[in-house]
Amino acid sequence: MAGHRRGSWVVALCCALCLAVLAGCGGRGPVPDAAAGEVRTLLDRRAQAVLDGNEKAFDRTERPARDADDLFGRLRAVPLDSWDYRLTGLDRDGARATARAELHYRIKGYDRAPITAERTLSLKRSGGQWYVTAEGPAKKSGEQLWDQGRVTAQRGAHSLVLGVGQSAADLRAHRELADRAVPAVRDAWPGKWPGRIVVLVPRSLDGMAGLLGAPASGYRGIAAVTTGETGGSGRAPADRIILNPEAYGVLGDFGKRVVLTHEATHVATRTETSAATPLWLSEGFADWVGYRGTGRTAAQAAPELRRAVQRSQLPAALPEDEDFGFGGDATKLAGAYEGAWLACRMIAEQWGERKLTDFYAAVGAHKGRAGAVEGALRDVLDTTPDDFTARWRTYLRAELG
């Protein structure tokens, strides 16, 4: 989850890309301006066909004609508000070419700004025209859900659930839990957010990893993740909650409810989460919202940390960012989440829930990590890091000992 920084260098880069496309690049020689212009026209027609739901027009952009399970068919259930290709590079070898493009798209009713995906399109020239022979994610770029198969959808009051290889009954169950998660987050988080979430359900763990553009080993056992912009611009497109059907699927209804509420909290707090926000606060707060009102005790929800406390292995300090790494020790990871949750729970109990949300916002509003927590502890909670840590350790003893 990374923010976007804009500046004069972005303008320079865009200009450089435009010049490169106009002049032609790569392949076995310069590409005439006409080739780039023709490909742009082709991509514009392709994009318009997708938006219009015009399968015949879409088929006219391809050679050979595709079957019913091509990109157009796999996309059919996705409610799109915009779909646009921007050519960034073209390598030509006679009647064959490879185009590099940015795909900008928006899901209707959910995305406040276009999401950008890097795409590679294989092209063939025939009868004086260019046609697409294949389209997919660029190298080292994450897949889109429709790259993995035909997408099916379930639209709820507060959610849109998109799946590949999922039964209608399973998608309805995901939708129902997502629709319960959004009001729970609204009740806990006073900040402004659209109150809508998009949940992606791939076929498998490998599918989840493909969407994230990362090795599957790093997400084994992780039930869900949320992707999106961090940094508080307020202009980010809606985040995507991506489920791992293997880990999420073995949870009971209660666990699934907590997971989706946790992830929906990340969506809600995105604009007030920044590089200044430590993971113990962002993950702990999301867990606090997830467990809020469920009646779960600390001993029930923090078994790993309870065992550590009972072995007289009380943590000396709050979890560090690296303690939340997905590919590390599962026991240490569980303890980090539990300790972070109990830190936020302690704030809510001893200072009040509004102080907890004010503390979260104050940390995220800081210009950088250095001094962010210290300043918010002082200004919002009227305490110091040493005193807060000591109180947290005492709280762990009392709740888990």
Query: Distance between CA 145 and CA 356 in Å, rounded?
Result: 36
Q: What confidence score (pLDDT) does residue 107 get? A: 96
CA angle centred on 295, ends 294 and 299, rounded to 5°: 115
Among 84, 239, 80, 81, which Cα is nearest to 146's?
Answer: 80
Query: Which amino acid, residue 140?
Result: K
- Residues whose CB falls within 8 Å of the CB of residue 391, separated by 6 or more in sequence, listed in order: 346, 350, 383
- Count of CB atoms situated within 10 Å of the CB of 157: 13
User: Residue 310 gets which letter from DSSP?
Assistant: H
Two tokens, residue 35: 């080739």
Residue 167, exposed/middle/buried by CB under 10 A (0-12, 13-18, 19+)? exposed
**Beta bridge mates, 82:** 106
Query: Distance between CA 109 and CA 155 in Å, rounded?
Result: 11
Question: Peptide bond before 30: cis, by omega within 30 degrees of 0?
Answer: no
Q: How many residues comprise the chain?
A: 401
| Three-state secondary structure string covering 127-175 | CCEEEEEEEEECCCCCCCHHHHCCEEEEECCCEEEEEECCCHHHHHHHH
Domain formed by 142-272, architecture = 2-Layer Sandwich (3.30)
> What Cα–Cα distance (Å) separates residue 199 from each residue in 153, 154, 164, 239, 241?
10, 10, 12, 9, 5
- Write out the residue limits of the CATH 3.30.2010.30 domain(s) in the chain: 142-272
Q: What confidence score (pLDDT) does residue 330 get? A: 84
SS3 85: strand
Give pLDDT tens digits along the chain (401 positions).
433 333 333 333 333 333 333 333 444 344 456 899 999 999 999 999 999 999 999 999 998 766 656 899 999 999 999 999 999 999 999 999 999 999 999 999 999 889 999 999 999 999 999 999 999 999 999 999 999 999 999 999 999 999 999 999 999 999 999 999 999 999 999 999 999 999 999 999 999 999 999 999 889 889 999 987 444 344 445 589 999 999 999 999 999 999 999 999 999 999 999 999 999 999 999 999 999 999 999 999 999 999 999 999 999 999 999 999 876 678 899 999 999 999 999 999 999 999 999 999 999 999 999 999 999 999 999 999 999 999 999 999 999 98
- Count of CB atoms situated within 10 Å of the CB of 294: 14
pTM of the model: 0.87
Fold of 8-139: Nuclear Transport Factor 2; Chain: A, (3.10.450)
- Write out the residue limits of the CATH 3.10.450.50 domain(s) in the chain: 8-139
